[in-house]
Amino acid sequence: PQKAAAEPAQPKAPAAKPRRYSEQERNDKLKLIETQVSEGTLKNAIQSAGISEQTYYHWKGAAKISAQKDDKTTEPLPAGDELADLVELEEENQKLRKRLAEKLRGENAELRKRLGLD
């Protein structure tokens, strides 16, 4: 049997550059997917949005993290909690000052003994 002649290698087409979406486009696509999920499956909603499942989960995770950061930074503490935190910090500060003073007194006493100043 004769071997089939090797076909000449055809140059591959250059890979398409992945599209970069703006933050607004990402949020719009995520909202679109959320609304379409109620009508069908998640997989179909992701495909209709024109992105991969991996991209969807990556965007969703990033959006969740940024939402948590926004919640933490914009939520002010109630005045009572701020005052309680301030009092607690003041007490801790006093304890640390006392410990530092005791430590320094001990080191000074030890140095005086070594130098024979007592």
DSSP string, 37-61: HTTS-HHHHHHHHT--HHHHHHHHH
Q: Which amino acid is at 60?
A: K
pLDDT in tens, the chain (118 residues): 566 665 665 656 566 667 788 888 888 988 888 888 888 888 888 888 888 889 988 988 888 887 777 766 656 656 778 888 999 999 999 999 999 999 999 999 999 999 998 7
- At a CB cut-off of 8 Å and minimum separation 6, what does 13 contact? none
Contact (Cβ atoms closer than 8 angstroms) between residue 36 and residue 45: yes
CA 94 to CA 12: how far, in whole Å? 72
Q: Which residues, 6 or more positions from 33, have their beta carbon under 8 angstroms from its beta carbon?
A: 42, 45, 46, 49, 56
Residues in the chain: 118
